[in-house]
Amino acid sequence: MPLINVQLFEGRTLEQKRAYAKALTDASVEVLGCSPEAVDVIFHDVKKSDWASGGKLWSDPE
């Protein structure tokens, strides 16, 4: 059973998450040959102040 953990900046709508969960599930079914019911997707909303790239917080001004 695939378990997909997705980390995104907070602020995505429920509609966006639904569509993304569906796309990830469909891709898993096609590539892995599993049933849709076997695919779990967990969304983790992350504040920009809790995410850094290249040593810089995403919440820092440019």
- pLDDT at residue 62, as a whole number: 82
- 1-54 confidence digits (pLDDT tens): 899 999 999 999 999 999 999 999 999 999 999 999 999 999 999 999 999 999
Backbone angles phi, psi at 15, to 5 degrees: -65, -40
Contacts of residue 33, defined as CB under 8 A and 6 or more positions apart, other chains included, come to none
The model carries a pTM of: 0.89
Contacts of residue 58, defined as CB under 8 A and 6 or more positions apart, other chains included, come to 9, 48, 49, 51, 52
- Domain-wise residue ranges, the chain: 3-48
**Residues taking part in catalysis:** 2
Cα distances (Å, whole numbers) of residue 38 to 26, 28, 32, 43, 56: 11, 9, 11, 17, 38
Answer yes or no: CATH 3.30.429.10 is held by domain 3-48: yes
Q: Is 36 helix (H, G, I), strand (E, B) or coil?
A: helix
